[in-house]
Amino acid sequence: MCSLLIDNAFSTSMMRKGVTFSRTTSRNDVVDCYRNLNRTDLFSIKQRKGEFKGLVTGYARAILIAEPSFHVGKSANARIKQTQSKEVHAYVRGNFFDAFTKELDTTALNQPLLVSYNPYLCDSFFTLERDKFGKVIKESIAPIGNRSPYNYALIQGKDVHLFNSL
C-alpha cells in the first residue's frame, strides 16, 4: 500500500513566511477531514485536540477514519449558496486511522455506502449513486444524519466510502 504512516504516525512539513516546520498526526487522534480548497486532489487533516488543536497537521489523497461523523456549518452553507464562493464548512470527523499517497481500490470493500457533499445539491452529507460517467444521479440523493452507522470512512476522490470491517 501507499500508507503515509511510520510507527502509527505521519509528519508533514509545512512552510509559513519562509520558515519550514513539521506537524504530526498519530493513529487515533480525533481529526476533521475535508477537501483542500487550494489542492482539490488532496484532503486536509485538522486536529481536534492536543498540541496542534485547531491546526492542519497533514494532507493526503485518501484518508481512513474510524467512528466517522458528518458535520456541516449551516450559516456557511447558506452563505456559499448566496455568494457562490468556496469555504471550508463541511467535514468528516473521527479517529484518524491512516492516510495514503494515492486513492485506494474500493472494489474489495464489503458493501460500502457511498456518501458525498455538495451544498448546491443538499444541505447535509447524503447517500448517492453515480452513473457510468461519475455524475450524481439526483434521484438517488438521500440526506444522512450526523452519525454514521458504519465503523470506517474512506475519504477519497469525490466521495466517502462507509464500511464496517477492514
Average pLDDT value for residue range 101-115: 89
Nearest to 112 by CA among 148, 140, 138: 148
pLDDT band at 49 (very low <50, low <70, confident <90, very high): very high
d(Cα 33, Cα 55) in Å, to the nearest integer? 12
Percentage of the chain modeled with pLDDT above 70: 99
Q: Residue 1 above 70 pLDDT?
A: no
Phi first, then psi: give them for residue 8, nearest 5 degrees. Answer: 65, 25
Does the pTM exceed 0.75? yes
- Give 105's DSSP letter: P
